[in-house]
């Protein structure tokens, strides 16, 4: 065994999670189509490097080592990782599912390599400090955004709500809610100097202020969860004066948020003035600046998305649809009500509930493994934090309490939001869970299970170099995603500049396995259809049909297919496509086209049914009633047609008298 090489690999393996904790919340790249894509690329690269370093270290040392007390949790984590990878065998949409599945695999890989690596209390302390430093920078930048001092082009991307360097204000709020109890835990460290304790406390206050600037009511609830968890642990176990004072402050914060949430508000939504979420505190009842009605619609859409996800689980209860497949599979299970309550129903990439997503993608087997893993982290972590605080170890006890509370806040975020789909929040949960598991199993960690590698040193050394080379080569995959994202960005810009030929070329070079690869091909097909040259309709139709197989979740795909078929005078094919669109994505355009096609096919009864659906979709539009009257006239039901025309005239008169807002 080459001891210096093993020591270097140990240091590298320990440093990778620290670098990820510091880099993922802050990374962005504005020249790409998605500025936050660099987070996923960083996460994937770190996972492959960590796996390669772990293998190289074992080969260099001549054995695999695993502390005996971490075997059970490592086995469950490995089983979940293998099940996630195996789910591709029955995934009906493997190409478009690859990118989100790689995110899940990378997070599990980093969790396992941190768990079985050289982790210790000192490693966990450093991980907490690196994480808090990154969130402090992101929170400070979010406050600058709130003050209108953001110099970057994405200014006001979410109105006046701050989002820092995260994907959205809600994800910034989730990360800040997890950072708050962790910062308070570090502020309790009696062995740290006064300056470090003050810095930790200031970071926590920055995070809380950034959460307020994000304007997220869910973030306020997560802050209450984290504060209550820390207070419960500290007040029930610790006798340290500093820890108890901070815990009492946390309890007061949690109580204030809860009281504000249940307090009656005469006009929900009025507390936030027109102009954005960031103009008020996040503890008002209505999160949306558009008022109570919009907030009610958002809650209904959330409930409808959960119902659709439950139907997916019922269809495939054991293995699910495969990792990363939710966005492509969901449209077949989307409740019809969802189309009325949200405009982005067809693009729903997450059910806003992590347990439902896991159950839909990995089945009840995957959900059971994930719950078992969570219990193996949280239950021993709770007991260990209480034991450390009770015996007067304020340093590691407060750290364990902060880690547990941070994990609780992130897990609570996963219950009602898509925050854990963010690479930064997902890695935070993986890293904090690994740190908490290490602390809970620190006693007896000197007992190690050893699996020797029966090979001479020279072949093992070559294999170690080969493992390192494979890890380096694996970085080419996330780098390819960045190249494709740059091509997507160039194609979109060229399309906006009126250069369709160049845009189609760039968009066609984006692979389907890219997160927005199917959307890029869809945009290329639409540009080809609009060009309206010889053979363009046929080419667009071929692209639409191939996309329907790869990703049926694309918005208005069936409608665009029908438009191409109408252009080619394929009326029967257009009828089938429009009927599919009417089931999945009912809209005015769909039913107007369907009425026209049914008239051409000389089926006035189906035309009447389509016009009736159009009236039900927009009952205050007089032109729809006139169209319905025409269908009755073609059925020789002139008396009913007159009634429809009178109703259309009544709508016009009512709208002109301003007693009814015109809907046309």
Write the pLDDT tens digit of every residue in 205-251.
999 999 988 888 888 899 999 999 999 999 998 888 888 888 888 88
The mean-pLDDT minimum among 17-26, 95-104, 120-129, 647-656 falls in 647-656
pLDDT for 121: 87
Question: Dihedral sign, CA of 609, 614, 619, 625?
Answer: negative
Q: What number of other Cβ atoms are within 10 A of residue 195's Cβ?
A: 8
The residues, ordered by sequence, that sit 6+ positions from 139 with a Cβ below 8 Å of its Cβ are 164, 176, 179, 203, 206, 207, 209, 210
pLDDT for 469: 76
In the chain, the percentage of residues whose pLDDT exceeds 90 is 48
CA distance 371 to 365: 10
* Adjacent-strand bridge partners of 449: 66
Q: What number of other Cβ atoms are within 10 A of residue 586's Cβ?
A: 16
pLDDT for 274: 29
pLDDT for 444: 66
**pLDDT tens per residue across span 383-439:** 999 999 999 888 999 999 999 999 999 999 999 889 999 999 999 999 999 999 999
Q: Check residues 481 and 652 and name the one with the higher pLDDT.
A: 481
Q: Contact at 8 Å (CB) between 185 and 227?
A: no
CA distance 37 to 29: 8
Average pLDDT over residues 639-661: 76
* Adjacent-strand bridge partners of 66: 449
Average pLDDT over residues 634-653: 86
* Strand pairing class (63-67; 157-160): unpaired
What confidence tier does 340 reach under pLDDT thresholds 50, 70, 90?
A: low
Of the ranges 270-274, 308-312, 333-337, the best mean pLDDT one: 308-312
Average pLDDT over residues 129-153: 91
Average pLDDT over residues 10-15: 89
Element (H, E) at 620: none
DSSP per residue over 395-421, as a string?
HHHHHHHHHHHHHHHHHHHHHHSSGGG
Q: Is residue 608 scored above 50 in pLDDT?
A: yes
First to last CA, the chain: 78
pLDDT for 294: 59
Residue 310 tokens read as 């439950």
**pLDDT tens per residue across span 517-554:** 999 999 999 999 998 888 899 999 999 999 998 888 88
**pLDDT tens per residue across span 436-488:** 999 998 876 677 777 887 777 777 777 777 777 777 777 888 889 999 999 99
pLDDT for 276: 34
Burial of 531 (0-12, 13-18, 19+ CB in 10 A): middle
Angle at 72 between CA 68 and CA 78, to 5 degrees: 115
The residues, ordered by sequence, that sit 6+ positions from 550 with a Cβ below 8 Å of its Cβ are 93, 95, 96, 328, 512, 518
Q: Is residue 619 scored above 90 in pLDDT?
A: no
Q: Is residue 516 scored above 50 in pLDDT?
A: yes
The DSSP symbol for 64 reads E
**pLDDT tens per residue across span 365-385:** 999 999 999 999 999 999 999
**pLDDT tens per residue across span 568-603:** 999 999 999 999 988 888 888 999 999 999 999 999
pTM attached to this predicted model: 0.87
The residues, ordered by sequence, that sit 6+ positions from 263 with a Cβ below 8 Å of its Cβ are none
DSSP per residue over 330-346, as a string?
GGGG--THHHHH-TTGG
Q: What is the mean pLDDT of the chain?
A: 85
Of the ranges 190-199, 267-276, 516-525, the best mean pLDDT one: 516-525
CA distance 448 to 421: 34
The mean-pLDDT minimum among 18-27, 133-142, 648-657 falls in 648-657
pLDDT for 279: 33
Cα–Cα nearest to 457, from 15, 13, 59, 32: 59
The residues, ordered by sequence, that sit 6+ positions from 385 with a Cβ below 8 Å of its Cβ are 233, 237, 397, 400, 401, 403, 404, 439
CA distance 256 to 512: 48
Give how far the C-alpha of residue 531 lies from the chain's centroid of Cα atoms, to the nearest Å. 35
User: In the block, which residue shows the tokens 């998605």?
Assistant: 34
User: In the block, which residue shows the tokens 């087997």?
Assistant: 365
Q: Is residue 266 scored above 50 in pLDDT?
A: no
Average pLDDT over residues 80-99: 93
* Adjacent-strand bridge partners of 362: none
């Amino acid at each position: 065994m080459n001891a210096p090489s093993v020591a270097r690999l140990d240091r590298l393996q320990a440093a990778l999670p620290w670098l990820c904790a510091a880099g993922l919340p802050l990374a962005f790249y504005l020249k790409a189509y998605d500025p936050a894509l660099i987070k996923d690329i960083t996460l994937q690269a770190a996972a492959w490097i960590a796996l390669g370093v772990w293998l190289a270290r074992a080969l260099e040392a001549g054995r695999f080592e695993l502390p005996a007390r971490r075997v059970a949790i490592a086995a469950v984590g490995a089983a979940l990782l293998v099940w996630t990878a195996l789910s591709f065998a029955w995934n009906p949409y493997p190409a478009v599912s690859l990118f989100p599945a790689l995110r899940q695999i990378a997070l599990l890989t980093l969790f396992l390599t941190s768990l079985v690596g050289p982790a210790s209390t000192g490693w966990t302390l450093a991980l907490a400090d690196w994480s808090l430093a990154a969130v402090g920078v992101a929170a400070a930048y979010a406050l600058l955004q709130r003050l209108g001092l953001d110099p970057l082009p994405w200014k006001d991307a979410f109105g006046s709500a701050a989002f820092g360097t995260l994907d959205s204000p809600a994800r910034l709020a989730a990360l800040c809610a997890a950072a708050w109890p962790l910062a308070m835990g570090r502020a309790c460290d009696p062995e740290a100097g006064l300056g470090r304790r003050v810095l930790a406390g200031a970071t926590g206050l920055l995070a809380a202020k950034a959460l307020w600037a994000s304007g997220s009511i869910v973030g306020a609830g997560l802050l209450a969860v984290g504060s209550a968890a820390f207070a419960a642990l500290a007040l029930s176990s610790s006798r340290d004066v500093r820890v108890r004072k901070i815990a009492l402050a946390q309890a007061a914060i949690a109580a204030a948020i809860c009281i504000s949430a249940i307090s009656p508000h005469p006009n929900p939504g009025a507390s936030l003035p027109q102009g954005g979420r960031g103009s008020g505190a996040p503890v008002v009842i209505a999160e949306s600046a558009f008022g109570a009605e919009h907030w009610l619609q958002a809650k209904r859409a959330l409930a409808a998305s959960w119902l659709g996800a439950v139907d997916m689980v019922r269809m495939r209860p054991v293995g699910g649809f495969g990792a990363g497949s939710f966005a492509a599979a969901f449209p077949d299970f989307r409740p019809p009500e969802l189309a009325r309550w949200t405009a982005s129903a067809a693009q729903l990439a997450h059910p806003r509930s992590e347990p439902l997503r896991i159950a839909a993608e990995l089945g009840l087997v995957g959900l059971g493994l994930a719950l078992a893993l969570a219990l193996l982290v949280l239950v021993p972590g709770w007991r260990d934090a209480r034991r450390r605080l009770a015996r007067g170890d304020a340093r590691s006890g407060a750290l364990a309490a902060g880690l547990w509370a941070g994990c609780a806040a992130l897990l609570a975020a996963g219950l009602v939001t898509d925050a854990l789909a963010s690479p930064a929040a997902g890695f935070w949960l993986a890293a904090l869970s690994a740190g908490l598991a290490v602390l809970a199993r620190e006693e007896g960690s000197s007992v190690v299970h050893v699996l020797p590698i029966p090979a001479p040193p020279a072949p093992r050394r070559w294999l170690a170099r080969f493992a390192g080379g494979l890890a380096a080569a694996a970085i080419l995959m996330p780098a390819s995603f960045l190249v494709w994202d740059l091509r997507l960005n160039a194609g979109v810009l060229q399309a906006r500049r009126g250069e369709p030929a160049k845009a189609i070329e760039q968009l066609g070079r984006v692979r389907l396995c890219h997160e927005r690869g199917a959307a890029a091909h869809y945009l290329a097909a639409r540009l080809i259809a609009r060009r309206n040259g010889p053979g363009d309709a046929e080419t667009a139709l071929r692209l639409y049909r191939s996309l329907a197989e790869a990703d049926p979740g694309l918005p208005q795909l069936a409608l665009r297919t029908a438009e191409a078929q109408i252009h080619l005078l394929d009326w029967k094919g257009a009828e089938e496509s429009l009927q599919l669109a009417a089931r999945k994505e009912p809209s005015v355009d769909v039913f107007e086209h369907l009425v026209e096609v049914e008239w051409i096919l000389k089926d006035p009864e189906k035309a009447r049914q389509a016009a009736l659906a159009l009236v039900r979709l927009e009952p205050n539009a007089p032109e729809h009633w006139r169209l319905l009257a025409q269908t009755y006239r073609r059925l020789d039901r002139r008396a009913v047609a007159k009634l429809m025309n009178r109703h259309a005239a009544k709508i016009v008169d009512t709208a002109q008298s301003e007693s009814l807002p015109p809907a046309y």
